């Protein structure tokens, strides 16, 4: 059996875990950070919690005899991806990155791409005071100094301070529908949407709703992934593992 460690927390990671659990050649462990209150547990063996940096991850892989490491974390989980790449170098274990495709603007979209969260804050100037913020609870603090804006923040778990002065929190988890997003945008009279380029269909409906209503969208671009092989789907990851494992 080939031992695979899947760094997860995404829908793609859960799908990959299910495929590997049913595969005769692989024995997979899914690792979850456990940062949300309601963890969606994948098939197969699961561990929850951090490793203590690259050295801790490398030690765990050596102790467990890990043959392949798959980084299937969120496209913006830059710290974990960097740790994974370093641990792979330390151990000589092959590293595969599973990254869903990013979003692309289409006809009728009014997107403002920015390289970072501070740049997103700057991009809000002149776009209207009512902001729908879908960057996640950990990035809400970046907007804390904008007292002239009113924010609707949607996230899975409550955010922690510092937070914007005028903030309403909506706790919810996708998938979302276009009709539901249209109702939300209209009901709160939203002027501008701020999001990360997370990709995938779970939360893409907000982009279609914004296009329909002519609402500008500030899109924070993804950080560059570490060097190495990248696949876009769980089935492509299985195919790669079949071709590059023992």
Query: Running along the chain, 246 residues long, what does each successive block of 10 average in pLDDT?
Result: 95 96 96 72 90 97 98 95 97 97 96 97 95 95 97 95 97 95 98 96 95 98 93 97 85
Whether 204 is in a domain gets the answer: yes
Residues 121 and 155 in one domain: yes
Report how far residue 241's alpha carbon sits from residue 88's, in angstroms, rounded to the nearest whole number: 15
Whether 106 is in a domain gets the answer: no
CATH for 49? 3.40.50.720
Residues 215 and 122 in one domain: yes
Residues 184 and 214 in one domain: yes
Closest by alpha carbon to 70, among 32, 99, 96? Answer: 96
Residues 85 and 148 in one domain: no
pTM above 0.75, yes or no: yes
Whether 8 is in a domain gets the answer: yes
Closest by alpha carbon to 216, among 119, 127, 104, 105? Answer: 127
Residues 228 and 212 in one domain: no
In this prediction, residue 37 carries a pLDDT of 55
Residues 125 and 197 in one domain: yes
Query: How many domains does the chain divide into?
Result: 2
Domain, as residue range, for 185: 111-220
Structure tokens that stand for 131 in this block: 């902001």
CATH for 137? 3.40.50
Whether 105 is in a domain gets the answer: no
Residues 11 and 74 in one domain: yes
Residues 125 and 216 in one domain: yes
Strand ranges inside 36-117, DSSP E: 45-48, 68-71, 95-98, 111-114
Residues 87 and 134 in one domain: no
């Amino acid at each position: 059996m080939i031992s695979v460690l899947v760094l997860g927390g995404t829908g793609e990671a859960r799908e990959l875990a299910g495929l590997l659990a049913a595969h005769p050649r692989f024995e997979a462990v899914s690792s979850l950070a456990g940062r949300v209150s309601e963890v969606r547990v994948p098939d197969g063996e699961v561990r929850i919690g951090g490793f203590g940096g690259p050295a801790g991850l490398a030690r765990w892989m050596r102790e467990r005899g890990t043959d392949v490491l798959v980084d299937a974390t969120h496209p913006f989980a830059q710290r974990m991806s960097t740790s994974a790449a370093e641990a792979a170098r330390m151990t000589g274990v092959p590293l595969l990155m599973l990254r869903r495709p990013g979003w692309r603007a289409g006809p009728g979209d009014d997107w403002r791409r920015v390289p970072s969260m501070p740049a997103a804050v700057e991009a809000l100037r002149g776009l209207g005071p009512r902001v729908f913020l879908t960057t996640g609870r950990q990035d809400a603090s970046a907007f804390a100094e904008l007292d002239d804006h009113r924010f609707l923040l949607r996230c899975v778990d409550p955010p922690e301070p510092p937070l914007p002065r005028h903030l309403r929190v909506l706790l919810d988890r996708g998938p979302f529908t276009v009709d539901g997003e249209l109702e939300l945008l209209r009901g709160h009279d939203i002027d501008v949407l701020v999001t990360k380029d997370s990709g995938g269909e779970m939360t893409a409906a907000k982009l279609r709703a914004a296009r329909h209503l002519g609402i500008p969208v500030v899109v924070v671009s993804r950080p560059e992934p570490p060097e190495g092989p990248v696949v876009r789907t769980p089935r492509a990851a299985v195919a790669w593992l079949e071709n590059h494992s023992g």
